[in-house]
Structure 1
Amino acid sequence: MATGFYTHADCLRHEMGNWHPECPARLQAIEDQLIAGRIDALIERESPPLVDEADLLRVHTQAHIDHIRRAAPTEGYAAIDPDTSMNPHSLQAALRAAGAAVAATDAVIAGRFDNAFCSVRPPGHHAEPARAMGFCFFNNVAIAARHALDVHGLERVAVIDFDVHHGNGTEAAFSGDPRVLMCSIFQHPFYPYSGTENQAKNMVNVPIAARSKGDVVREAVDLLWLPRLHEFKPQMLFVSAGFDAHREDDLGNLGLVEDDYTWLTEQVRQIAARYANGRIVSCLEGGYNLSALGRSVVAHVKALAGL
């Protein structure tokens, strides 16, 4: 099975201060673990383009895009919200991250790869159509999913989100859209304090109590995600792959380990194999303990590649 691996040096140049957990070292930690696990030679590396504005506009408003462009500083930092800021390289990184998700979608649909992982930052799933927040500027997975629908003509896609935080931006983009089924787990109550009220029919949001371990998440997936996915029969799957639910990650309080991420990825692969010709595009979201992040991404990529 051929798995594409999309990353770019631009994604290392975005940083929000030495104190910030969403830091360039996250991607470096992934690279180190790929090498240590001897996985690097088994994936196909791709250098993504910048995203087209037309793709951004399928999810985000013109006013939002213009605001992010205007906010980009020429030096120092520009605050977007209390947790999110831009340096002079942040805009380029955000455009590159979204471009990776779109390019991976094109490649997987064209049959160049069976699936792909985008090792990019900034992350995206908190970015709403008209608002940047939670370390996110543009919603990479939502942009890629809408590209698959509107450009490639797919009729049904699924979004899987296993980040410790609810993907409020992705829900805002797709709530009520019958072409999209979103399945998510997230710690609750927890930032961004969303996902539990007024769910649209195409949302399968599963709040998980703090200190829960992998068995609780696996049961939720078995009982709540998988029946809906089999009913929906997606033609492609997109994954918001956050690894901050790992038991070693201090930004959350769940207890997942690498075996849980392998299991989750295998469930996604089985759905993709049955209904979607194996087509999956996965994009990095959270994960802030560097060692746990690197190990978890290796587990995820190995499972994508069937290794």
Structure 2
Amino acid sequence: MVTRLYTHPIFLEHITPPGHPERPDRLRAIERVLDDEAFAALDRAEAPEGDEATILYAHPQEFVERVRATIPDTGIARVDADTTASPKSWQAAVTAIGAANAAVDDVFRGNAANVFVAARPPGHHAEKTTSMGFCLFNTAAIAARYAQRQHQAERVAIVDWDVHHGNGTQDIFWDDPSVLYCSTHQMPLYPGTGATSETGAGNIVNAPLAPQTGSEVFRDAFLS
């Protein structure tokens, strides 16, 4: 079976301030790489807009409405010290959720062997009731819950290898043994969470790594 790729032009319309680390150029860089003939076999599809009701799988209604209220009619609104929203940010965030949920559908229904979602805004720093770290909603957490609710997955594993710890995903599943959250990340580094002692209900596995850690130690973290 094929590897499917989901993306959408709306992701480029989530605008952040000039020079912001999480800006449309990040997605353009991915697109340039995937345009190489080495990736010609990808099954490319336009990401569908998500069902807003699925946001409630990981976040309470009050929080969802608070995020919606931050979306400006013009310009850029600041959500926290490093997280911003622009007029198209809501649509971009909901489409990112739609892409992640469609990826879950594709794998469970046998339509694709695996799926890569090139989307923004990102998600793993958004806690249950807090947008932060460039993230409005926690797309990964919503997709995990979607797998459970729509496809009756008994257990879900989330493997996170971002340089930053996914504090939001950990927060949402902290006391839920039906979801295993594993993370490799640099420490010390933002957001300051991710110690090995943070184990939740026995379902949280953190492997903090020192700056400049090499590949051998990185692989050992996965094996151990």
TM-score, length of structure 1 as denominator length:
0.70
Contact 2:6 2:45 in 1 (8 A): yes
Shift of 1:178: 1.5
Contact 1:185 1:208 in 2 (8 A): yes
Name the residue aligned to 2:164: 165
Name the residue aligned to 1:179: 178
Asked if 1:15 corresponds to 2:10, the answer is no
Name the residue aligned to 1:91: 90
Name the residue aligned to 2:64: 65
Larger relative CO (CA 8 A, sep 6+): 1 or 2?
A: 1
Name the residue aligned to 2:220: 219
AA partner of residue 190 (structure 2) = Y
Q: Percent identity?
A: 46
Shift of 1:45: 1.0
Partner SS for 1:68: helix
Shift of 1:153: 0.5
Mapping for residues 258-297 of structure 1, pairs under 5 Å: none
Shift of 1:32: 1.0
Partner SS for 1:98: helix
1:59-99, CA deviations, whole angstroms, 9 ceiling, x for partnerless residues? Answer: 01111110111110000111001101111111111111111
Cα distance in structure 1, aligned partners of 2:21 and 2:129: 24
Cα distance in structure 2, aligned partners of 1:155 and 1:39: 36
Contact 2:15 2:76 in 1 (8 A): no
1:252-289, CA deviations, whole angstroms, 9 ceiling, x for partnerless residues? Answer: xxxxxxxxxxxxxxxxxxxxxxxxxxxxxxxxxxxxxx
Cα distance in structure 2, aligned partners of 1:63 and 1:145: 21
Contact 2:10 2:91 in 1 (8 A): yes
Cα distance in structure 2, aligned partners of 1:210 and 1:16: 28
Mapping for residues 103-252 of structure 1, pairs under 5 Å: 103-196=102-195, 197-200=197-200, 201-223=202-224
Structure 1 ranges of 4+ moved more than 4 A? none
Cα distance in structure 2, aligned partners of 1:155 and 1:139: 20
Shift of 1:39: 3.3
Shift of 1:199: 2.0
Shift of 1:128: 0.8
The number of residue pairs the alignment matches comes to 222
Asked if 1:6 corresponds to 2:6, the answer is yes
Shift of 1:25: 1.1
Shift of 1:29: 1.0
Asked if 1:35 corresponds to 2:30, the answer is no
Shift of 1:110: 0.7
Cα distance in structure 2, aligned partners of 1:53 and 1:88: 17
Shift of 1:193: 0.4
Shift of 1:194: 0.7
Cα distance in structure 2, aligned partners of 1:30 and 1:188: 26
RMSD: 1.1
Cα distance in structure 2, aligned partners of 1:132 and 1:151: 25
Partner SS for 2:40: helix
> 1:28/1:198 Cα in 2 relative to 1: closer, same or farther (>3 Å)?
closer
Contact 1:15 1:22 in 2 (8 A): no
AA partner of residue 2 (structure 1) = V
Asked if 1:54 corresponds to 2:53, the answer is yes
1:21-59, CA deviations, whole angstroms, 9 ceiling, x for partnerless residues? Answer: 1111111111111123x1342111111222212210010
Partner SS for 2:182: strand
TM-score, length of structure 2 as denominator length:
0.96
Shift of 1:222: 1.1
The 10-residue stretch of structure 1 (157-166 or 42-51) with the greater mean CA deviation from structure 2: 42-51
Contact 2:52 2:94 in 1 (8 A): no
Shift of 1:198: 3.7
Shift of 1:17: 1.4
Shift of 1:202: 0.3
1:144-190, CA deviations, whole angstroms, 9 ceiling, x for partnerless residues? Answer: 11000112111011000000000001001111212111111111111
